[in-house]
Structure 1
Amino acid sequence: MSRREYDESDVRVRPGRGTRPRTKTRPEHADARAAMVVTVDRGRWGCVIDGDPAQRVTAMRARELGRTPIVVGDDVDVVGDLSGLPDTLARIVRRGERRTVLRRTADDTDPAERVVVANADQLMIVVALADPPPRAGLVERTLIAAYAGGLVPILCLTKTDLATPQQFAEQFAALELTIVTAGRDDPLDTVEALLAGKVTALLGHSGVGKSTLVNRLVPEADRATGEVTDIGKGRHTSTQSIALPLKSGGWVIDTPGIRSFGLAHIEPDDVVLAFSDLAEAIEDCPRGCGHMGPPADPECALDTLDGPAAGRVAAARRLLAALREG
């Protein structure tokens, strides 16, 4: 057998570097359109162009955004196919600065924050007066998250046919909190007036009637509703947050039912700063003050306040106690 002779065609030549240098400069996307995120599902985001529900597109996150988190309520810029036709896909190229955020953690020992909703004006805390029984602790913790995130809280009481709202509502009188009722037989005029022209997130335990309320506000939404189990806990019916347009203008964001609301990311100052008449006073507190007063914080400056401000101090300290209890 003769030895095979090789020529240049047998040699694999590794291509050299191109002459065009790599750059980190990204396109400006000057033609991008402003949009609001209304749904999130497995790496795809539903967005409405210029806040118009009729101009809805499905988008992916552009590579240059990396792992930038994008949630319902975020203001984004989108490019690409904006026709909204089936099987078309746009790209989210920018996320705007968030005006407000509703954050939670799994529990008070978990440092990992999760942004539930972005850019909501209001947080409507939905609580059933019975079946399941109301929990003041959850209301207090969600109030803390609302104050810290810049949202205006509203307490909405459902199932008024099973119990009267006065006793439960009195627990929050010192907070000057807006409280409304939305039982099955209650008119929704007051609720609708509060929501008109605003972006409002709805939050509550599973089984409190949140999805029923959403269906009354937005009949075409057809949100699934569920029964309460025999151990007094509701079944999850909403599994993903979704923003729904109101006929009177504005949006309601239906969020999944929750069993707990962790506040590992909240500091005592975050709570007190939500009270404008107390914010200046804590500037005179010693470093590390928890604002609870004696004996825990004997030099707390809040103890020097009197009159109506003293009532606000008591309300703020109740929230701080809920934050500490976990």
Structure 2
Amino acid sequence: MTRRGRQLDENDVRVRARGGSRPRTRVRPKHENAKQGFVTAVDRGRYTCLVEGREVVAVKARELGRGSIVVGDRVSLVGDLSGQPDTLGRVVRVQERGSVLRRTADDTDPVERVIVANADQLVIVCSLSDPAPQPRFVDRCLVAAYDAGLSVLLCLTKSDLASPDELLRTYAGLDLDTVVTHADGDLDGLRSRLRERTSVMVGSSGVGKSTLVNQLVPHARRTVGHVNPVTGQGRHTSSSAVAFPFGDGWLIDTPGVRSFGLAHVSADDVLAGFPELEEAALICPDGCPHTAGAPGCELDAGVTAGRLATDRVSSLRRLLGSRTGEDGG
């Protein structure tokens, strides 16, 4: 067969390039003119970002690959950043995170889920009644906070229905910052602890977290649910994390959760939240579980000799046990 009078051979075979005709390159665009933004909400691949005082909706640039972008991330954006309806910017860079609050679906799930980035305070909201207090849930949140390097504020709600004294005694050994609220009380104590911080609020459904957010940030309009008087359970009223400007900081509300998996947290990470106990545990035998009565555990010896505080050791063991569903001894 000939083509324009010439004999054809294998050199004339055309092969379609896979993935398009452009050669692939590892060099990513620099985007020197990108604007800096703060991610305040995430919804099905759309990222609401605060850019130079205005809200911009953006998508993730293809060059970022599969990496996640979460509320609290500081990002660089290009494209249409006017914030006008039906406009989209592009997130082209995610800056290094200062902290990451994570959880797993349960204690056997190896997949970590990033809740928020760059927070410096975890506010654990726990009701004193309706629903009843959930110390195990609080313990798990504490472990996650220690793992993330966050300070902790324990916020007890509905003190008009029950006394906080017993629950406060439970956490006396942790030297936690706590604030107690009730339906008709002012929130000045809580506000003072949130100013100039990036705080993330977590809590089970029905504990009053969304009510608090609406009182602290009137324009938030977070949906408030009701607790079943029989089961003590409420529906999840917040479906996604949202960040609200609060003074010189940020207040991040998260969806209500019923479980806080800790498959990603090791016993050493929990110990790190107790510096004096961590130092004592260095003398323990290899693989020591640090539970009560464990052979050779220095924590028992330290309590007996008066070198370690009993309530601190009990708190540590309760938190260690929370990782596996045990009480820790």
Code of the residue aligned with 1:314 in structure 2: it is S
Matches within 5 A, 1:130-145: 130-145=129-144
Alpha carbons of structure 1 residues 20 and 170: separation in structure 2 relative to 1, 3 Å: closer
Q: Contact conserved, 1:182 with 1:213, CA < 8 A, in 2?
A: no
Q: Which residue pairs with 1:313 in the alignment?
A: 313
1:284 partner SS: coil
2:131 partner SS: coil
Q: Are 1:95 and 2:97 matched, yes or no?
A: no
- For residues 224-273 of structure 1, give each alpha carbon's deviation from its aligned partner in whole angstroms, at most 9, with x where no partner exists: 11111132101111001100111x22111110011111111111111001
Q: Which residue pairs with 1:43 in the alignment?
A: 45
Q: Which residue pairs with 2:277 in the alignment?
A: 278
Q: Which residue pairs with 2:293 in the alignment?
A: 294
Q: Contact conserved, 2:41 with 2:47, CA < 8 A, in 1?
A: yes
Q: 1:16 and 1:119 mapped to 2: Cα distance?
A: 46
Residue 308 of structure 1 and its aligned partner are, at CA, apart by: 5.0
Q: 2:178 and 2:83 mapped to 1: Cα distance?
A: 39
Code of the residue aligned with 1:299 in structure 2: it is G
Matches within 5 A, 1:143-222: 143-222=142-221
Code of the residue aligned with 1:240 in structure 2: it is S
- Identical counterparts, % of pairs: 52
Q: 1:181 and 1:323 mapped to 2: Cα distance?
A: 27
- For residues 60-107 of structure 1, give each alpha carbon's deviation from its aligned partner in whole angstroms, at most 9, with x where no partner exists: 111111110111111211112111111111111111222212111111
Q: Which residue pairs with 1:26 in the alignment?
A: 28
2:171 partner SS: helix
Q: Which moved more, 1:276-285 or 1:218-227?
A: 276-285
Q: Contact conserved, 2:121 with 2:200, CA < 8 A, in 1?
A: yes
1:280 partner SS: helix
Q: Which residue pairs with 1:117 in the alignment?
A: 116
Q: Which moved more, 1:257-266 or 1:298-307?
A: 298-307
1:46 partner SS: strand
Q: 1:293 and 1:64 mapped to 2: Cα distance?
A: 52
Q: Contact conserved, 2:202 with 2:254, CA < 8 A, in 1?
A: yes
- Computed over aligned residues only, the root mean square deviation of the Cα atoms, in angstroms, reads 2.4
Q: 1:59 and 1:16 mapped to 2: Cα distance?
A: 34
Alpha carbons of structure 1 residues 154 and 27: separation in structure 2 relative to 1, 3 Å: same
2:320 partner SS: helix
Residue 182 of structure 1 and its aligned partner are, at CA, apart by: 2.2
Q: Contact conserved, 1:278 with 1:309, CA < 8 A, in 2?
A: no
2:167 partner SS: helix
TM-score for both structures, normalised by structure 2: 0.88
Q: 1:314 and 1:20 mapped to 2: Cα distance?
A: 63
Q: Contact conserved, 2:299 with 2:308, CA < 8 A, in 1?
A: no
Q: Contact conserved, 2:56 with 2:82, CA < 8 A, in 1?
A: yes
TM-score for both structures, normalised by structure 1: 0.89
Q: Are 1:56 and 2:65 matched, yes or no?
A: no
Residue 28 of structure 1 and its aligned partner are, at CA, apart by: 1.3
Code of the residue aligned with 2:31 in structure 1: it is H
Residue 324 of structure 1 and its aligned partner are, at CA, apart by: 2.5
- For residues 267-313 of structure 1, give each alpha carbon's deviation from its aligned partner in whole angstroms, at most 9, with x where no partner exists: 11110012222333333333322222523xx2334345344555422
Q: 2:190 and 2:36 mapped to 1: Cα distance?
A: 29
Q: Contact conserved, 2:205 with 2:236, CA < 8 A, in 1?
A: yes
Q: Which moved more, 1:252-261 or 1:18-27?
A: 18-27
Unaligned ranges ≥5, structure 2: none
Q: Contact conserved, 2:281 with 2:298, CA < 8 A, in 1?
A: yes
Alpha carbons of structure 1 residues 316 and 79: separation in structure 2 relative to 1, 3 Å: same
Matches within 5 A, 1:224-243: 224-230=223-229, 231-243=231-243
- For residues 120-161 of structure 1, give each alpha carbon's deviation from its aligned partner in whole angstroms, at most 9, with x where no partner exists: 111111111111111111011111111111111111011111
Residue 20 of structure 1 and its aligned partner are, at CA, apart by: 7.6
1:48 partner SS: strand
Q: Contact conserved, 1:277 with 1:309, CA < 8 A, in 2?
A: no
